[in-house]
Amino acid sequence: MEETERIGLSEASKADHLCVLVHGLWGNPKHLSYLKTALQQEHTEDRLHILVATRNSDSFTYDGVDVGGERVTAEIEAAIEELQRRGQEIKKLSMVGYSLGGLVARMCIGLLYSRGWFDKIEPVNFTTFATPHLGVRTPLRGYHSYVWNALGGRALSTSGRQLFLIDSFRDTGRPILSVLADPKSIFIKALSRFRNRVLYANVVNDRSAPFYTCAISKVDPFANPEAIRIEYVKGYEPVVIVPNLPARPARQDEPSTTYSRVVSGGYTFLTRVPLYAMLTVFVPIGTVVFLLNSGIQSFRSRQRIRLHESGKAGIGLGVYRIPVMIENARGAVEGTVKSINAGQQQEYLPDNAGISSGREPQTKKLSTNDDDQASEKSGESEESTAELTRTRSIIELPTLALAPEQFEMIQALDDVGFRKYPVYIHKVNHSHAAIIFRRQRQDYDEGKLVIKHWLKEEFEL
């Protein structure tokens, strides 16, 4: 009864689709209240079961993506088995991750895949909101970047080291985020099985997870949003942006507003001076208090991890400690270790490194717009000629100074394929919380439009 009541099911429910919601760092199920409510209003309980993960909440999120993933996987399996005992067979699965929860969800699906669940259950929707798929290393040059990347990862225990790519995942000798994106891993194999893969990424004022990492991008077209032409998805203006469009200069008849100038200016400041960004977040709550609390939480996290590793945390650990690679990757690991060592010295790219902002590397399963085709057929009509002219006006954007493993992650995840929706939250300077309407605040209401778009246009029952 406990599992069923917690999921919020009625015994008469005939739903065969389970949707799992996973919150982020420092998070708890309350952060996903609006997301859950919106799902329930769109799809009644006789059509969809909703499980909001609870076993990896609050300070437990310090313990790492892998440990959190194992906890949530155990929770999912327990829920499915409980439903089966009541004669309610689950045939379809959707995963939704917010912030760090998106990485935990990617860990979960690899474990579920390895345990044969995807042979019995169809993976349907995989969605992330403001998830740092590439970690949170600052892609800048200079000592500010070095200080931020060196200190930031050590303030949040295991999860922090993983987000800053300074961890070593088990016997791979590689950061866990690199392993999650390895084409030979169970995690990429699992991700590729989902019918729909969608992400939403804030373009400004996300102090926790910048655009490039949430959008899995090697460029940031929105570093100066006033300089480019932004096209919104019809019916979801002015929040959800049309994905995969080239960056083109803003029209002359589109003057910037005072508010948007302040917003974009603040975003640029936080992006370019990461150390100041850290202080902007930490100082209001007291730097000393924060670091003291981080030390305490890190100590407690290490204790919990030891219990988890010894199998004394209530989870049969052995069932999840399976090979993460589909093939023997010993040789590949040796090569990757060298890449990691080299990556510690490459906080920048050559000055002439830049790519066209025309479009992210195209994915195998997602369609593109017709820019290239228009160029080939430019002589056939005036419309094609106009399209060619627009194509030539594409802004050239510099490639961010990412680490080598981050570029590898981008390629692997793009090969699998995501629909990537940029999100422009205008009303608040904390878009990370607003994107899912994390709290009942009127100035967060733009997040409701994001959720509406996902439910109406992307979520498949």
Residue 332, pLDDT > 80, answer no
Tell which residue, 131, 139, 157, 159, has the closest CA to residue 149. 139
- DSSP class of residue 392 equals H
CA end-to-end span of the chain, whole Å?
A: 26
Residue 286, pLDDT > 90, answer no
Which of 196-200, 281-285, 323-327 is modeled with the greatest confidence? 196-200
By percentage, how much of the chain surpasses pLDDT 70? 63
Region 319-334: what's the mean pLDDT? 51
Query: Rounded to whole angstroms, how far apart are CA atoms 158 and 85?
Result: 37
Tell which residue, 201, 238, 239, 192, has the closest CA to residue 221. 201
Tell which residue, 341, 25, 337, has the closest CA to residue 157. 25
Q: What is the 3-state secondary structure (H, E, C) of 11-48?
A: CCCCCCEEEEEECCCCCCHHHHHHHHHHHHHHCCCCCC
Query: Rounded to whole angstroms, how far apart are CA atoms 145 and 54?
Result: 35
Give pLDDT tens digits for 22-41. Answer: 999 888 999 999 999 999 99
Decide: 187 and 110 in contact? Cβ < 8 Å: yes
Region 258-280: what's the mean pLDDT? 46
Query: Rounded to whole angstroms, how far apart are CA atoms 171 and 394?
Result: 45
Percentages of the chain per state (helix, strand, coil), in multiples of 5: 50, 10, 40
Q: How confident is the model at residue 370 (pLDDT cuts 50, 70, 90)?
A: very low
Which of 102-106, 164-168, 260-264, 300-304 is modeled with the greatest confidence? 102-106
Rounded-to-10 torsion of CA 324, 330, 331, 335: 70
